[in-house]
Structure 1
């Protein structure tokens, strides 16, 4: 009796295709082929349905992975082919805000629900909003362009108009594939072992999917302080998994993606000015404060010592120094005692090592 039940589906790995720039799978239960590609800020979906059956695409703004939980959700049918909404949530990353607009290639009707309870009308707000996008039973192919934005639903729609103005799915696949091939071919491996080669390029692909662009086509973005900023003169980024990336990934970026490094660091310096400390583990506009140490410090130090251009060294040095002189997770003990007491802070030995690395970076920059 639940109108939202029955969305799960079996699938087989033999019916799945996963490539940089394209994903496809057949949902066996619903006999529906799903294909996905994307530009920088717009996802492009293609659904190929069986003939003469009911067709739905559910927009679920309630459920998510892990401990992420919605704090405010909104969904609206704008016209007969357009749906807009937003999802605010909290969890590992606090105060996440993501806005979207979805444009469909066929006329639709939106059925709204508070979780599984039907609600009349074409606009709904709450913490558990879901929507059934319903298309005519004779529609066999449905394309959907979904623009996202950290700022507004209007910006999400503008991103669609800017990046994917037409309905040429194959062109977007080709363009995105070409972008990925250009990046992945920066390191070329000549080996006969195809399995090892696949592993290498898969690892390189994983290394290149973060940090993630976090602005709109007009360069607006939402800062860590949740204010909206205009064009800052650089591309704003988020998803700085610095505990995981400062040792190897970021030094790799300085070698094979040097054009992105100044934007990474300018994003970090903006975060410093907005929250009073350089990022620790920055995720979708909020710092999770996860892990020990402030690993953005050695990242910035490495870039300065390699003479990377495109950001202000003095501004960076002052941000590094102020962050390391803060009280973040045991730093005050280092300042006063030159060590972190094990009975005062968890993982004090590991923290001491991370702070020593960061302090070394600050000292090298100061010496430079």
Structure 2
């Protein structure tokens, strides 16, 4: 690790010359290009609070405790703040976390809230001036939140609300709690057992820099099972500091985390240390661009590295999916795994930019399998929520295998993937799937087509890894399953269409009607037939071209897809960021513009990629069109800036497009560099692409990227 840090410190500088030609190394602060407010207005669902990369705690302001717009607890346009909680997810479509709400106030309010007057956010720091003349400031380490409240005088009050959380379809949240007011009158510790998107336990310790003079427990409302306290302080300098440490394991674990990470009260040091750490991540890619584009780009980098969250304590202990305490390999156990989203681009990007994290991700999957009986689908705080479909930890594992990562057991991974894909759990019925070669909509009346297509990709990934490992029987079984999508192909429309158990297509068929399991149940997941039809082209593009009748028909189908309009598009059904039927605001569409690389008109894909890049991202608060989904929207932007994308995110290959900057440099952990130059490319013409003066066709491999060199788009 020290070697890698030294490499990054060296390469984060640029050379300038003084009048006497003396060489001077000048540091670049990439954090100045990050705007945490991007994505906080509209449907991006990001948050402006501080965080460390891949951290357990992510404190921030809460406007309310529920609602689809407030899945991170925050919307920029909302002027009300009800307090500052210590955990959240970035860019999700469902609420979770929001643990331990703190609200500074004075007087005797009729309700605990204030208006925000002036707000500021940067990497590792958030502040807001409230209508009560109180200034709140936040920073954090990996497992500890640090709050600083400046009051207008020395008489200070603080609400500690342990009942609070960001809720989803629940009116109770806390099932039980056990909280202790410690004798020093500076510390509150305990745990809460909550049930929201998942059922989980969090343990905490809250400590203040001075004693409280009085404490009062507020009356509990119906269905409340955790205390709410009002603390009174007589401040020495009008400033109250507070540290909140968390653990999935125990109060002792939370206290150990606090002692190890934050044994002082120097707020500015924590803030500045956080900025330095973030620079080691942000400087992994250098781009030549104006400040606006740099702001979008480095904010995307920032959002990419907010999750998954390492929820292991400093001693490596964590609470697993089975509620048992376990010891994490190398102290890493990751959660906030939005795999239906992030397998597409985020995880392939992690293999390039933070390869040191990849084995930890995979070992987390395998530990979850041991505890739960199957690989993770979507986890929060280490618990499975069964959200979305498929089991896309599988392609993440297979991608790591093909890229040569060796810090996990290949045999254990294969066993876990096969078991997950053959033994039923809440999200699967493999007997039905194998009997019919698809999920019939009369037996599975929700997402039948999407479930078939998503499972097909997982099957392909298993088959490919099994073949390379010499497991021919497994490879044959899953390769056959990976072709089940052919059973749902309607040759008349060229679309994937629901089919019943008798083998009859769904009638009537409305290919432009989007369906979603919560809002409008049907055959597709947050998409329509046109959008989900392209799923098999993730991994089987050549066969898919033949299925459509050849390259001419494939090209025509792509052209129709990007021009066919629909006046009834609903953003809550995945219909956001539209170009024709392409919906950039949701993940099933993300690879489709890159499919033009296999068409008769590859330059058309370059035009569309550039249009998507410029239309659906900006440096404004509404600059992410659709949920960022734990960094997936951001990962698309980063890859497209560089000029390639993982159309098949389990293959160790990337499809070439066109860079959105003239020059870029990727600084790799192995000490190599990949320099990217666009030159004077003309989007209306097919361009030649060379890697180290050798021509490339439609793809570049992971191995080629990691060897470094010069990638030129001429």
- Alignment TM-score > 0.5, same fold: yes
Shift in Å, 1:75: 2.5
Q: Establish whether residue 159 from structure 1 lines up as the match of residue 257 from structure 2.
A: yes
Which residue of the other structure, out of 337, 343, 350, is the alignment partner of 2:442? 343
Q: Aligned runs of 1:273-284 on 2, under 5 Å?
A: 273-284=370-381
Q: Establish whether residue 359 from structure 1 lines up as the match of residue 459 from structure 2.
A: yes
Which residue of the other structure, out of 418, 430, 435, is the alignment partner of 1:331? 430
Gaps of 5+ in 2: 1-106, 469-714
2:287 aligns to what SS in structure 1? coil
Map of 2:166 onto structure 1 = 65
Shift in Å, 1:60: 1.1
Residues 320/4 of structure 1: CA separation in 2 closer, same or farther (3 Å cut): farther
Q: Aligned runs of 1:245-256 on 2, under 5 Å?
A: 245-256=342-353
Preserved contact between residue 113 and residue 130 of structure 1 (Cα < 8 Å):
yes
Preserved contact between residue 3 and residue 116 of structure 1 (Cα < 8 Å):
no
Preserved contact between residue 51 and residue 138 of structure 1 (Cα < 8 Å):
no
Preserved contact between residue 234 and residue 266 of structure 1 (Cα < 8 Å):
no
Which residue of the other structure, out of 109, 133, 145, is the alignment partner of 2:243? 145
1:45-98 CA-to-partner distances (Å, cap 9, x unmatched) read 11111114x4122111223223251111232211221111222111211x2111
Map of 1:123 onto structure 2 = none
CA distance in 2 between partners of 1:137 and 1:169 (Å): 17
Q: Aligned runs of 1:263-282 on 2, under 5 Å?
A: 263-282=360-379
Preserved contact between residue 114 and residue 128 of structure 1 (Cα < 8 Å):
no
Map of 1:32 onto structure 2 = 134
CA distance in 2 between partners of 1:356 and 1:231 (Å): 31
CA distance in 2 between partners of 1:291 and 1:231 (Å): 26
Which residue of the other structure, out of 69, 92, 103, is the alignment partner of 2:207? 103
Map of 2:414 onto structure 1 = 317
Preserved contact between residue 193 and residue 200 of structure 2 (Cα < 8 Å):
yes
1:259 aligns to what SS in structure 2? helix
Residues 186/170 of structure 1: CA separation in 2 closer, same or farther (3 Å cut): same
Greater strand percent: which structure? Answer: 1
1:158 aligns to what SS in structure 2? helix
Preserved contact between residue 75 and residue 131 of structure 1 (Cα < 8 Å):
no
Map of 1:113 onto structure 2 = 218
Q: Aligned runs of 1:123-138 on 2, under 5 Å?
A: 127-136=225-234
2:459 aligns to what SS in structure 1? helix
Q: Establish whether residue 241 from structure 1 lines up as the match of residue 346 from structure 2.
A: no
Gaps of 5+ in 1: 118-125
Q: Establish whether residue 86 from structure 1 lines up as the match of residue 200 from structure 2.
A: no
Shift in Å, 1:231: 4.6
Map of 1:120 onto structure 2 = none
CA distance in 1 between partners of 2:208 and 2:235 (Å): 15
2:246 aligns to what SS in structure 1? strand
Preserved contact between residue 35 and residue 45 of structure 1 (Cα < 8 Å):
yes
Shift in Å, 1:216: 0.7
After alignment, is 68-77 or 160-169 more displaced?
Answer: 68-77
Shift in Å, 1:138: 5.3
Q: Establish whether residue 292 from structure 1 lines up as the match of residue 389 from structure 2.
A: yes
1:340 aligns to what SS in structure 2? coil
1:216 aligns to what SS in structure 2? coil
CA distance in 2 between partners of 1:116 and 1:129 (Å): 10
CA distance in 1 between partners of 2:215 and 2:430 (Å): 53
CA distance in 1 between partners of 2:383 and 2:328 (Å): 19
Q: Indicate the RMSD between aligned Cα atoms, in angstroms.
A: 1.9
Residues 331/56 of structure 1: CA separation in 2 closer, same or farther (3 Å cut): farther
Preserved contact between residue 135 and residue 151 of structure 2 (Cα < 8 Å):
yes
Which residue of the other structure, out of 208, 214, 217, is the alignment partner of 2:314? 217
Residues 215/58 of structure 1: CA separation in 2 closer, same or farther (3 Å cut): same
Preserved contact between residue 88 and residue 96 of structure 1 (Cα < 8 Å):
yes
Shift in Å, 1:189: 1.9
1:299-342 CA-to-partner distances (Å, cap 9, x unmatched) read 11111111112111110111011101122334332222221111
1:263-305 CA-to-partner distances (Å, cap 9, x unmatched) read 1110110000000000000111210001111111111111111
CA distance in 1 between partners of 2:220 and 2:122 (Å): 34
Q: Establish whether residue 46 from structure 1 lines up as the match of residue 148 from structure 2.
A: yes
Map of 1:21 onto structure 2 = 124
Map of 1:175 onto structure 2 = 273
1:112-146 CA-to-partner distances (Å, cap 9, x unmatched) read 234369xxxxxxxx714111222115550111111
After alignment, is 295-304 or 76-85 more displaced?
Answer: 76-85
Preserved contact between residue 325 and residue 335 of structure 1 (Cα < 8 Å):
no
Map of 1:122 onto structure 2 = none
CA distance in 2 between partners of 1:148 and 1:133 (Å): 21
Preserved contact between residue 329 and residue 360 of structure 2 (Cα < 8 Å):
no
CA distance in 1 between partners of 2:328 and 2:417 (Å): 24
2:399 aligns to what SS in structure 1? helix
CA distance in 2 between partners of 1:306 and 1:45 (Å): 42
Which has the greater radius of gyration? 2
Preserved contact between residue 4 and residue 116 of structure 1 (Cα < 8 Å):
no
Q: TM-score, normalised by structure 2?
A: 0.48
Shift in Å, 1:156: 0.7
